Amino acid sequence: MGLYLNPPDRALVLCVDEKSQIQALDRTRPLLPLRPGLPERQTHDYKRYGTTTLFAAFNILNGKVMGSCRSRHRSREFLSFLKELEKGGPADLEIHLILDNYSTHKSQAVQRWLQPKKRQRFHLHFTPTSSSWLNQVSVGSA
């Protein structure tokens, strides 16, 4: 909570979350338009076009969301998203990430990439177990 109430000077605070297994669907036929006395109608069946994973970072200062879709949900894809955040963020600011305790965030590959000598400006803050509601971004199921 301290990062929200009193963020460090010269820092960018981002809330990060991901949603995996998002299905790309399309109806088999176009919507039937409204008519007097009849609601808009659609078919019950649809075509599947595969799945994707959404990675999102919410900037608590300005409310902007940086997002990226990946074909899979592994530490490799999360690491790729971190590299995008590094490239897209101001080079003169520290980056504080608020994350849940998902194993992807704590993998050896991510830990190696974050080693202090390489990425001193990155700071990861994990929400306590069962407290992901503390994170201001959530891309979970509705």
What residues contact residue 105 under an 8 Å CB cut-off, 6+ apart?
78, 99, 124, 126
Contact (CB, 8 A) for 1 and 7: no
Q: What is the pTM of this model?
A: 0.73
pLDDT score of 132 more than 70? no
In tens, the pLDDT along 91-122 reads 888 999 988 887 888 899 998 998 877 788 88
In tens, the pLDDT along 6-51 reads 888 888 888 888 888 888 788 888 888 888 988 888 888 888 888 8
